[in-house]
Structure formats: C-alpha cells, structure tokens
Amino acid sequence: MSFSVTILGCNSALPTSARHPAAQVVNVSERYFLIDCGEGTQMQLRKNRIQFSKINHIFISHLHGDHCFGLIGLISTYNLLGRKSDLHLYAHSELEKVLTPQIEYFCTNLDYKIIYHPTNNVSNSVIYEDKHLTVTAIPLLHRIPTCGFLFREKEKPRHLRKEMIDFYNIPIRELQNIKAGADFISDSGEIVANYRLTTPATHSRSYAYCSDTEYSEAIIPAIKEVDLLYHEATFLSDLVDIAKKTGHSTAEDAACIAFKASVKKLIIGHFSSRYKDLSQFTDEAKKIFPQTELAREGKIFDIMS
C-alpha cells in the first residue's frame, strides 16, 4: 500500500527559474491529495506525470499568494478537461470569498461542484476522514490564520495466525473481532488470549505538513513521532530576527521541532529566493537532527510500513 509525498514546489514568496512556490501531492494507496497550490502547480503536476483527475481534495494552508495563486488556473483547467466529479477545498473560510468572483469571471458554468470545507484555526480538528485515513488541521503561528495538515492512517487490524485459527476451529464470523483485538471463547468456555491467535498489526503511517509558521512548540503534541515531517525553513539562523518578524522559521528551528517531537525523518523547504546554495540548510539542520533532507522539486519521499 503506497504512502508517498511528491514535492512540486519548495520556494517561498517568489517563483524563480529553479524553484516553484509551495505545492505537494500526497499519495495514500493511489488516492491523491494536493497540499497548497502555488503558481505553476499544474505545470508541475504534468512534469511529474500526476493525473489531474486523481486529485479530488485540495488542502490550502493559508491565503498567501505563494500557497494559492495556482488554484484558479487549476480550477479552470479542470473545467476545460471536462471534469464532472466534485472538487473539495479545505482552507480558511475566506477562500470562498476570494475564489467566487474569479470563478464567476473566468470559469462561468462550471460542470462540476466545488465544495468548501472551512478549517478550524484555533484547535486541532479532523477535516477529512475515510475508512483508511484521517487528515487533521493543526493551527500554526503565522501572520494570518494558517493550518498545517497531519495525514495519518487509521489503526490497522492485527494479523491472524492461520495455524492457530485452524487449531481452535474458529468460525469465520469471529475473525473480525479477533483481528480487532478480542479474545476467543470456545463453545466449552475456554478463553484463548488474542496474542495466541494474532501477530501485531502493520504500522500505521503518518505525514505532517507544517508551513508557514514561526518556531512553535505548541504543534509538538500533534506531530509527535510522525514518520515524516515537512517543516518550513525559509531562512538560515543568521536571519532569525527576520524569520520571527515575518512569521517564519529557520533550518535550525525546524530541526529543533523535529528533535523534540521525535519524528523519524524531517524534510525542510519553503526556501527564501535569496538562497541559491540549499546545502547550507541541511548543514544547519543536521547538526541538531541528522535525519534531514531538502524538499527538492520532483523528489518523492516514500513512507514505509
């Protein structure tokens, strides 16, 4: 079962000839979720051979242009391609007010429905759920209301030990309860402990996206021990004052959060266009959190079970 993150854009504020503004695609068992939609996102989708039609849910962290200027273009392209299925947008409630006049002017008579899901920017809240996955909005600390997103697989069932199921001649109707952790009681009243009938469930994977935000330990409980954390690192630590003033983080800040949250791997991105040599960012972050990688465009990060 796949669980991966593809980086489409890793720059902050301005697109450059080498880096696009924020955008990522999360693939969970061939269900595709777009996080942020900076300018040029649909070109990056094409370049990375990601089918537009597979994206039905788009999560916008906040309403700064480098995170949403590509949205109206993508909405228009969907209409030109003959989209019929609903498109779900998860963002601050102001997004609908921003998009509506653009859609009315540029995309009259949409053949599909746009459904808005306002995010809660005050406390952690589940904003998407299906039988395999939840997505939780996590309030971040930025100049305007901003949310990060935590993608987490639901707890998986335990694995049956076939030889033990056969040995105790357990009926099929009992198997779901046993996979969920229940003991088995035979017709004679014998209690067979669950650990004798099953092996532990496969690890449920998780990914947290935290951008834009200044250093904030308030997010640590929500992202504790995630498999993969993306945390913005707009500046290096010599510009920490500018980072604080603009509501952003340094590479050192991101590494400190990753370390304190005991995550397995950190991706840093959202780089200021003033930097050409991005190796400086990993040099700074790895001093605190060695399991750090850069959010290079086109890079796919696989999350293993």
Query: How confident is the model at residue 157, as a pLDDT?
Result: 86
pLDDT at residue number 305: 81
The closest alpha carbon to 228, from 132, 281, 293, 135, belongs to 293
Catalytic option among 66, 212, 227, 253:
66
Cβ atoms of residues 271 and 19 within 8 Å: yes
- Predicted pLDDT at 165: 87
The CA-CA-CA angle for residues 91, 116, 114, to 5°, reads 125
Beta-bridge partners for 3 = 28
Please report how the helices 94-106 and 71-80 are oriented relative to each other, as an axis angle in degrees rounded to 10.
Answer: 50
pLDDT at position 191 is 93
pLDDT on residue 189: 85
Q: For residue 120, what pLDDT is reported?
A: 86
Low-confidence ranges of the chain (pLDDT < 70): none
Quote the pLDDT of residue 201: 87
Asked if 299 and 282 count as a contact pair (C-beta separation under 8 A), the reply is no
Domains and CATH numbers, the chain: 3-156+202-302 (3.60.15.10), 159-199 (no CATH)
Q: Give the gyration radius of the chain's Cα atoms.
A: 22
Distance CA 54, CA 135 (A): 18
Verify whether residue 302 is a known catalytic residue.
no
Specify the pLDDT at position 41.
98
Residue 219, both tokens: 């997010």
DSSP category for residue 263: -
